[in-house]
Amino acid sequence: MESKRDFGFERDLEHMRECYRKGRTKEASWRVSQLKGLQKFLKEKENEVLMALKQDLGKHPAEAFRDEVGILIKSLSFVLGNLKQWMSSKKAQLPRLALLSSAEVVPEPLGLVLVFSSWNFPLVLSLEPLIGAIAAGNAVILKPSELAPACSSLLANTLPTYLDNTVIKVIEGGPDVGEQLLEQKWDKIFFTGSSKVGRIVMSAAVQHLTPVTLELGGKCPIVLDSLSWSWEREVAVNRILVTKFGFCAGQACIGIDYAIVEKKFASNLMELMKIMMKKMFGENPRESNSIARIINKHHFLRLKNLLNDPLVKNSIVHGGSMDEDNLFIEPTILLDPPLQSAVMTEEIFGPILPIITLDKIEDSICFINSRPRPLAMYVFTKNEALRRRMVSETSSGSLVFNDAVIQFAADTLPFGGVGESGFGKYHGKFSFDTFSHYKAVATRSFLTDFWFRFPPWNNYKLLLLDCALNLDYFGLLLVILGLKRSRKGFNIN
Ligand code: NAD
């Protein structure tokens, strides 16, 4: 039997725990210096980062800056601008029974936390949670995805120069390293990846009652209402195409998986899409430098199989060509593929856009609700009644009207899933909260006490307790004086 490889990080982890216990990561000055270290890393290593993203995924530097480096720079300055306020304790009130007292809610770090990231946005999905973990004062192990090796080794080799390597470490590796990391005891596991591995993470976390955040995927729909003006349709189609094909070539958890439109609008939409795709990616998209490449052969073949599915072949209305040597798949549109086909039951994660037509756009609510709750949903409409129904009758991690993926760049919105798309949230203050424990701290004076708080008990004390818990001081005085009835309907005299 093959024996399990020991990656020998247990001693490192013990040392990190020890440093954490001694308070190394808790001071505001340490947190600020690490966040500034990340700023410095992004500034000094920007070219290397953009090159690594090009190497792993063929992302154009403009796309890589928009979706990864730029977002992180913005995020870091937001966190640095707000950290002092987030770290401060917030006053709270105790019940009147605790006369002469004060209370506060004190944020404290969780301890030693583990961050797993995914390959499709290898920088932002590694560093965005890392920012939150550092801001909240934790020691962190980051395990990037082995499927984006250039980014993974850049992080592992370069971050130690910019960060406190005694309590922040990058451990590279694949599932075997991941499994061994999961055997350790953590104070929090933050996981971005597939629901299959998410389940493995959760069952490992159960052993130590470790809290987890699972950032998973799924099928994110767009609903495109037949907008009345042609310029509005053009704006909508432009935004849809850039999200589907110009956002890591559709390999994005919050990218568009499939679109729903009304039957009568389908042919007009197809024409518009073809014209606008030409503008974005040229006559021959294979030569365009604005479409990222598929991450590896395994995923290329997975996508090829989706398109070669006999159920789906006749639905291809645009694109469909591919180049295995260059891991390129042409932006492809399918019209009404069978709902039981793999392309409509599995997460696509690539540049293939199925368009599903329905008689009425309102039917999309039922269509979406009969499937697992998505990480994101996008609705293009000017119909206020439909807008309201979408908000109140559907459930998703996020819901955006008339654009897509902009929620990912917002520091003020929670980012995370619901149901099968995961749980927990991050970005901005939500990241700080995700990696913090809010401790209740209460202090009482020795001076006074309500005598009816203590045994021996009688019904008179019961009434007073009821009044003290449910009335303000003035109400309580009135009841004691017999001028007001207690909540139980009679006075106590
Ligand atoms: P994955 O689950 O295969 O891998 C994620 C991480 O887990 C990687 O670091 C990997 O090395 C590690 N891992 C893999 N197998 C493991 C095992 N057996 N034990 C321990 N660790 C293991 O996912 P992926 O292929 O990197 O990402 C694709 C999925 O992630 C898609 O479903 C996508 O929707 C989702 N995703 C979600 C988000 C989000 O923010 N919600 C972002 C990106 C990707």
- Rounded to the nearest whole angstrom, what is the distance from the C-alpha of residue 54 to the centroid of ligand 1? 20
255 pocket-lining for ligand 1 (C-beta < 6 Å): no
101 and 158, same domain (yes or no): yes
CA atoms within 13 A on the CB side of 22: 9
DSSP 396: -
Q: What's the structural domain count of the chain?
A: 3
342 located within any domain: yes
Q: What is the pTM of this model?
A: 0.94
The pLDDT of residue 4:
63
Residue of the CA atom closest to atom 20 of ligand 1: 178
Q: Given the CA of residue 347, which atom of ligand 1 is nearest to it?
A: 32
The pLDDT of residue 84:
98
208 and 227, same domain (yes or no): no
Distance (Å, rounded) from C-alpha 116 to C-alpha 171?
10
65 and 179, same domain (yes or no): yes
Distance (Å, rounded) from C-alpha 466 to C-alpha 472?
11
| Full pLDDT tens readout for the chain, 493 residues | 455 667 778 889 999 999 999 999 999 999 999 999 999 999 999 999 999 999 999 999 999 999 999 999 999 999 999 999 999 999 999 998 898 999 999 999 999 999 999 999 999 999 999 999 999 999 999 999 999 999 999 999 999 999 999 999 999 999 999 999 999 999 999 999 999 999 999 999 999 999 999 999 999 999 999 887 889 999 999 999 999 999 999 999 999 999 999 999 999 999 999 999 999 999 999 999 999 999 999 999 999 999 999 999 899 999 999 999 999 999 999 999 999 999 999 999 999 999 999 999 999 999 999 999 999 999 999 999 999 999 999 999 999 999 999 999 999 999 999 999 999 999 999 999 999 999 999 999 999 899 999 999 998 888 888 888 888 778 877 877 777 776 665 554 4
Which residues have C-beta within 8 Å of that of residue 353, sequence separation ≥ 6? 244, 245, 250, 256, 258, 259, 331, 332, 333, 334
Distances (CA, A) of 60 to 6, 54, 55, 325: 38, 6, 10, 19
The pLDDT of residue 435:
98
DSSP notation for 326-380: TTEE--EEEES--TTSHHHHS---SSEEEEEEESSTTHHHHHHHTSPPPSEEEEE
Q: Given the CA of residue 375, which atom of ligand 1 is nearest to it?
A: 41
DSSP 415: B
- Rounded to the nearest whole angstrom, what is the distance from the C-alpha of residue 123 to the centroid of ligand 1? 14
Residues annotated catalytic, as ranges: 215, 253
182 and 56, same domain (yes or no): yes
- Rounded to the nearest whole angstrom, what is the distance from the C-alpha of residue 279 to the centroid of ligand 1? 34
354 and 459, same domain (yes or no): no
Cβ proximity of 51 and 59 under 8 Å: no
422 located within any domain: no
The pLDDT of residue 1:
46
- What's at 487, amino acid-wise? R
256 and 292, same domain (yes or no): yes
95 and 193, same domain (yes or no): yes
109 and 234, same domain (yes or no): no
- Gap between the terminal Cα atoms of the chain: 82
200 and 66, same domain (yes or no): yes
- Rounded to the nearest whole angstrom, what is the distance from the C-alpha of residue 8 to the centroid of ligand 1? 23
247 and 152, same domain (yes or no): no
152 located within any domain: yes
CATH number assigned to the domain comprising residue 343: 3.40.309.10
264 located within any domain: yes
394 and 476, same domain (yes or no): no
194 pocket-lining for ligand 1 (C-beta < 6 Å): yes
396 pocket-lining for ligand 1 (C-beta < 6 Å): no
Boundaries of domain holding 465: 450-491
213 pocket-lining for ligand 1 (C-beta < 6 Å): no
444 located within any domain: no
- Rounded to the nearest whole angstrom, what is the distance from the C-alpha of residue 192 to the centroid of ligand 1? 5
343 pocket-lining for ligand 1 (C-beta < 6 Å): no
- Rounded to the nearest whole angstrom, what is the distance from the C-alpha of residue 52 to the centroid of ligand 1? 19
227 located within any domain: yes
Which pair of structure tokens corresponds to residue 335? 């019209």
171 pocket-lining for ligand 1 (C-beta < 6 Å): no
Residue of the CA atom closest to atom 11 of ligand 1: 174
Distances (CA, A) of 167 to 18, 52, 338: 9, 25, 51
CATH number assigned to the domain comprising residue 40: 3.40.605.10
DSSP 426: B
Phi/psi class of residue 422: alpha, beta or left (left: φ > 0; alpha: ψ in -120 to 50)? left
272 and 396, same domain (yes or no): yes
Cβ proximity of 39 and 153 under 8 Å: no
For a mutational test of ligand 1's pocket, the pick from 192, 373, 398, i.e. the residue with the most ligand atoms closer than 8 A to its C-beta, is 192
DSSP notation for 461-493: HHHHHHHHHHS-HHHHHHHHTTSS--TTSS---
